[in-house]
Structure 1
């Protein structure tokens, strides 16, 4: 009975929040670009000014990651994202083509449901609120229960700042009684226009199964290939910078390293020099038991934990200054933990004979888990880089940059985002780094430029296929259409 009452209370809370959000969104939809931007700037400023406080709250409540790195995430989600989107046209007429006589008008989708993970709770709230309001939408958050306090405090800070800048009350809100039933109601309710889902596979699948349009992101499992022409010390630095950042909680971070036989020794030596600890076969087997749970999901006990904490949990003895644990691996598969996503400072290490084999291995790894997400290549050979870019089943091929920070657009010129689309191959509706442009529709005002008579081909010689081949037929059709348009 207690559980039932809790579920009913959560469902009713969602309905109340959506009702208020829908009314608030009507007001947002009438605002000018200047008014919307003023609100967004206030959100970004308040979040940035509280970046350290919120980082510490998230780390203390979840036990994941490193609070100093979470400060960087909060700064990225507020200041960095705002700097990127502040001049973006998202209200009213956003483009006008006088030659083609087409005008594009931005139309907010309405109310967004923002699902928030425990790995990046405060930064994801800041980012999703910013891009939603920038596009003229209201947003209702479903928080991960393990990060509830940090998420609610983040929303209190940014919603208060937004309302002082003219944002209608209810435009940014959050469930305080999160349950699975309440979240299901949020996703399926008629007043929810779009789901912005970041989190585990089950949650993303539920979002796409809800009947509501959704942008979801599944797991990452990015391999990093260190090709023979790579600057090995720099490649290793970037990989370790990425994998140790917030203890590996960003899904775009590297999950495995692939090297060629010809550079294997140099790479291993450099990894050890920079703080990686290679596990013996016995140690590798010992740790392997803790990476995945019996049901095949990632063990939350290792997520976002340091090498030392993982060693203590698993009974391993590792150097006090070890930064990353590495296990040599040859296998790939659902039941091979090292070949899967590990949101912790743990890496698999594969050896191949050449870049062609690396290409095949990376594809195999990604199709097992992480298809559509991200992979990394460290190389000075543009031909090899392009081959990887043409063939890999990912939405991001990152070149000579840390995966975690490159994938989200911090060290690359992609759109800065904490929700990374995985495309059709990854079961996602888009392959974009999600920005405000993904959160509004475009209404097109199109003037007529031709009449029916212009489209008719009266007075012309009929085209037959007996005297000309298919290519000639196409060329003739094109010529006649172009002649009519002149």
Structure 2
């Protein structure tokens, strides 16, 4: 028996979307307290499986560090859960009785979600929690390279949610995953919002649906080390961030831009703390590993340790090397180091001062139109302010490891596993995506002033007589008659011209 997986996946997508639409209508009647109860039970159910899920995802994707994936899973089940408790997303979410104002949170409806293979478990948990918290149904299309991991965690959550009273169909996933099925899901009329995280290949399909798209794109983020920075601490932050999960965190640094007058100090700190600054031949040999001639990323290069990458490129680095560093002069389409590598590899650029460094950072951020996250290490408040004002970026992180600061672990940004990339025009938000991005706010305003505040305009409106219907009819007849005469005159002139 021959089975067409594309057709099967498309049919599943239709059924799941329609079921989710019907189930969300029931969910929309739930109070915030009931939604919170379901979220708590889902998080608690997953928490007892986070270690096994981390091992499974590391094994399935053959990338990253399972202990670091475990840390991300725990972060979502504890820190994120704690943060969610304080939010009101549905019903009356704020009220100002003195000014007669009230805000009502309304769920978007059905969300179609795609998650990255770099963080398949933690991102899937996160999207589920924020969707249910805000009264939405959510249907996942698992990443082809992380299907077992995503399906396993979703099965755990679906079971826990059902026991807690979540209507059947509010949380589901495509079992037969194909690109056709994913497109069918995103474009289905029942779907109100599309969330695409770390799956650039699905972005155009998501945008073509005409629906709102939350896009958590690649960061390709530079880190600027300015002359007033604590150099040793800045380098430590960057290396700790870039080695987390072997460089796969979306907000992790992809390059370092150094203020020229402190270059020697930066190089010394890098080498002292386990970075290996490659020669030009070594940099070129390593660059060959990452992308095919057509530009697609080669498999087996994401989340791979630095020592392993060096061996594959044909050169040896000291044992214990944490990060490989390639010195570059220019940002160029032909240079792989200008792109996001999702590995413990950093490009290193040198500029004469912070203003030139500012331009270099902008060039890097715009190179793949993926403006996402930028970090700066500086002790000069004015330089930091200028970077914040001028950079086309979703988030600016100051004196912190970008991988941790971006997700809200070392900063007070909302703790999130989905970082919006809207600053590049590819999504509706550049926020650390939270439940508040999954609702719309209905505004309620009570009348508290009379129309006299409009002055003479109000008086003119109030004194305007009601038009007489018979007079209006006569005016219409006059206009129609006038137009007929004009048309007859134009036709006569046209005929005379022909003759």
Same fold? TM cut 0.5? yes
Q: Give, in whole Å, the separation in 2 of the partners of 1:241 and 1:459.
A: 64
Q: CA deviation at 1:74?
A: 0.6
Q: Which residue of 2 is the match for residue 429 of structure 1?
A: 428
Cα-to-partner distance string for 1:41-81 (whole Å, 9 max, x where unaligned)? 11111222211111000000011100000001111222111
Partner of 1:234: 233
1:47 and 1:336 map into 2 onto residues whose CA distance is 42
Cα distance per residue 1:436-463 (max 9 Å; x no partner): 0000111122222334343232799xxx
**Deviation above 4 Å: which 4+ runs of structure 1?**
none
Residue deviations 1:362-400 (CA, integer Å, cap 9, x gap): 111111125431111111111111111111111211001
Instruction: Report if aligned partners of 1:65, 1:305 keep a CA contact under 8 Å in 2.
Output: yes
Alpha-carbon offset, residue 2 of structure 1: 5.0
Report the equivalent of 1:402.
401
CA contact (8 A) 1:208 1:216 kept: no
Q: Secondary structure at the match of 2:258?
A: strand
| Deviation of the 1:308 alpha carbon | 2.4
Deviations 1:412-451 (A, max 9, x none): 1011112111224342211111100000111122222334
Question: For the Cα contact (< 8 Å) 1:372–1:426, is it kept in 2?
Answer: no
Distance (Å, rounded) in 1 between the aligned partners of 2:411 and 2:329: 31
Q: Once the two structures are superposed, what CA deviation does each residue of 1:236-282 show, in whole Å capped at 9, x if it has no partner?
A: 11101110000111111100011122111111111111110111111
Q: Would you say the 8 A contact 1:277–1:324 is kept in 2?
A: yes
Any idea what SS the aligned residue of 2:60 has? helix
Q: Distance in 2 between matches of 1:297 and 1:352?
A: 30
Could you tell me whether the CA contact under 8 Å between 1:419 and 1:433 is conserved in 2? yes
Q: Name 1:379's counterpart in structure 2.
A: 378
How far, CA to CA, are the matches of 1:42 and 1:351 in structure 2? 51
Match of 2:145 in 1: 146
| TM-score, length basis structure 2 | 0.89
Give the equivalent residue in structure 1 for 2:314.
Answer: 315
Q: Residue 113 of structure 2 corresponds to which residue in structure 1?
A: 114
Three-state SS of the structure 2 residue aligned to 1:47 is: helix
Cα separation, 2, equivalents of 1:375 and 1:414: 14
Between the aligned partners of 1:227 and 1:273, the Cα distance in structure 2 is 19
Instruction: Answer whether contact 2:116 2:143 (CA < 8 A) is retained.
Output: yes
Tell me how large the CA RMSD over aligned residues is: 1.6
SS at match of 1:105: strand
Say whether 1:43 aligns with 2:56: no
Q: Is the 8 A contact 2:260 2:352 kept in 1?
A: yes
State the SS of the aligned residue for 2:146: helix
**Is structure 2 residue 248 aligned with structure 1 residue 249?**
yes
SS of equivalent to 2:265:
helix
Taking the TM superposition and a 5 Å limit, the aligned residue runs for 1:74-223 are 74-223=73-222
Return 203-212 or 249-258, whichever deviates more. Answer: 203-212
Cα distance in 2 for residues equivalent to 1:12 and 1:48: 33
Offset at residue 316 of structure 1 (A): 2.4
In structure 2, relative to structure 1, the CA distance for the partners of 1:213 and 1:459 (3 Å cut) is closer
Equivalent position of 2:290 in the other structure = 291
CA, structure 1 residues 241+426, in 2 after alignment: closer, same or farther (shift >3 Å)? farther
Maintained 8 Å contact 1:43/1:161 = yes
- Consecutive unaligned residues in structure 2, runs of 5 or more: 460-499
Q: Which runs of 5+ in 1 are unaligned?
A: 461-486
Contact 2:275/2:321 (CA < 8 Å) preserved in 1? yes
Partner of 1:265: 264
Judge which range, 17-26 or 280-289, deviates more: 17-26
* Aligned residue in 1 for 2:20: 21
CA distance in 1, matches of 2:264, 2:29: 63
- Asked whether the equivalents of residues 296 and 335 of structure 1 are also in contact (C-alpha less than 8 Å), the reply is no
How far 1:32 moved relative to its partner? 1.1
Which residue matches 1:478?
none
Aligned to 2:274: 275
In the TM superposition, what whole-angstrom CA distance separates every residue of 1:99-118 from its partner, at most 9, and x where no partner exists? 22121111111111111111
Aligned to 2:454: 455
Q: Which has the larger radius of gyration?
A: 2
Which residue does the alignment assign to 1:438?
A: 437
Match of 1:464 in 2: none
**SS of residue paired to 1:145:** coil
SS of residue paired to 2:325: strand
Distance 1:229 1:453 in 2: 58
- Taking the aligned partners of 1:19 and 1:458, their CA distance within structure 2 comes to 50
Structure 1 residues 324 and 455: CA distance shift in structure 2, 3 A: same
TM-score scaled by structure 1? Answer: 0.91
Q: Distance in 1 between matches of 2:211 and 2:422?
A: 18
Q: How many Å apart are 1:82 and its aligned residue?
A: 1.1
- 2:343 matched to which residue of 1? 344
Any conservation in 2 of the 1:333–1:365 contact (CA below 8 Å)?
Answer: no
Query: Do the aligned residues in 1 keep the contact of 2:9 with 2:178 (CA within 8 Å)?
Result: yes
